[in-house]
């Protein structure tokens, strides 16, 4: 099947073209789109891309880190302002993948991918879309949200350390069995507004509502950690795949959450 590739100089033009081409696939760094093409994925024969340099900008203003959609994991790792995201960017694929994989592409990377998106959710990041919306990343990833292009991601710079762990197999090495990102803001020594996100435990990164409930209002002691771990998988929907079974993911999720929380004490 012939392939049409359209390249636009600006994000606005790409956004308009994308809105009127229902069959098109937008390409960011192409780590997944090119793989699909190489595998002759019949789902699309039309690619839209943009070379807009604004999409590669990284800046901080008013306590918010703004990331252009085309910022790659490698660019993040080289930027001091984005240091709080380095532990996450460092474990996305290998060096070749990190040099192309973009922050916006990670939001739309299907399970078991999306480790970076999970961290953005834990940080309460918002996305700026081509149709002028500004919405929480968490909302953008929900099924049924109208498809649109993301131009930038705004990440509140956290006061606390972003907790993160990626759990993958020794062989084959790489892709997550699951990953965990958590932010535990505190007031007067007690956790308030905990955000705990699992990737690989559902069709997209998901908040662990049970764990958050156990953490909020509590101090991070052994009893709280045990309660949060016991409630870790409440409402999550892990699946079987070639890396692990849903059963295995459920079994290990609470163990890894407890480890992540213990490190934060």
User: Which CB atom, from 175 or from 243, has the smaller least distance to ligand FAD?
Assistant: 175
Please name the residue that has the structure tokens 């880190």: 65
Nearest to 261 by CA among 207, 220, 214, 200: 220
Residue pair 7/49 in contact (Cβ under 8 Å)? The answer is yes
User: Which CB atom, from 104 or from 163, has the smaller least distance to ligand FAD?
Assistant: 104
| Binding site residues, ligand FAD, CB under 6 A | 25-33, 35, 69, 92-93, 97, 100-102, 104-106, 108-109, 113-116, 149-150, 174-176
* Helix intervals (H) in 30-164: 33-38, 73-77, 86-89, 95-100, 103-107, 115-122, 137-140
Find the shortest distance in angstroms from Cβ 70 to ligand FAD: 7
Find the shortest distance in angstroms from Cβ 222 to ligand FAD: 31
Residue 173, phi then psi, degrees to nearest 5: -80, 150
User: Which CB atom, from 33 or from 228, has the smaller least distance to ligand FAD?
Assistant: 33
Find the shortest distance in angstroms from Cβ 245 to ligand FAD: 20
Residue pair 17/8 in contact (Cβ under 8 Å)? The answer is yes
User: Which CB atom, from 172 or from 189, has the smaller least distance to ligand FAD?
Assistant: 172
Find the shortest distance in angstroms from Cβ 35 to ligand FAD: 6
Give the C-alpha separation, 248 to 252, whole Å. 6
Give the C-alpha separation, 129 to 149, whole Å. 5
Nearest residue to ligand FAD, using CB? 105
Find the shortest distance in angstroms from Cβ 4 to ligand FAD: 15
User: Which CB atom, from 32 or from 220, has the smaller least distance to ligand FAD?
Assistant: 32
Q: Give DSSP secondary structure letters for 104-118.
A: HHHHT--TT--HHHH
Residue pair 198/178 in contact (Cβ under 8 Å)? The answer is yes
Question: Helix or strand or coil: residue 47?
Answer: strand
Find the shortest distance in angstroms from Cβ 31 to ligand FAD: 3
User: Which CB atom, from 31 or from 233, has the smaller least distance to ligand FAD?
Assistant: 31
């Amino acid at each position: 099947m012939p392939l049409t590739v359209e390249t636009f100089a600006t994000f606005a033009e790409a956004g308009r073209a994308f809105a009127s081409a229902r069959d098109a696939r937008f390409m960011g760094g192409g780590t997944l789109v090119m793989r699909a093409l190489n595998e002759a994925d019949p789902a699309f024969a039309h690619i839209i891309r943009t070379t807009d340099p604004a999409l590669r900008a990284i800046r901080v203003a008013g306590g918010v880190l703004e990331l252009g959609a085309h910022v790659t994991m490698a660019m993040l790792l080289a930027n001091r302002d984005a240091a709080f995201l380095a532990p996450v960017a460092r474990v996305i694929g290998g060096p070749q993948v990190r040099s192309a994989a973009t922050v916006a592409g990670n939001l739309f990377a299907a399970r078991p991918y999306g480790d970076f998106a999970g961290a953005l959710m834990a940080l309460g990041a918002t996305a700026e879309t081509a149709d002028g919306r500004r919405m929480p990343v968490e909302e953008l990833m929900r099924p049924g949200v109208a498809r649109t292009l993301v131009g930038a991601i705004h990440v509140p710079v956290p006061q606390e350390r972003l907790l993160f762990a990626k759990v993958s197999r020794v062989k084959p090495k790489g892709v997550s069995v699951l990953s965990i990102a958590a932010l535990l803001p505190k007031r007067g020594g007690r956790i308030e507004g905990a955000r705990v996100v699992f990737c690989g435990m559902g069709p997209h990164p998901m908040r662990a509502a049970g764990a958050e409930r156990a953490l909020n209002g509590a101090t991070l002691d052994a009893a709280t950690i045990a309660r949060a771990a016991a409630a870790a998988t409440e409402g999550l929907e892990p699946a079987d795949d070639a890396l692990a079974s849903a059963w295995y993911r459920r079994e290990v999720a609470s163990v890894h959450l407890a480890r992540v929380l213990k490190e934060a004490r």
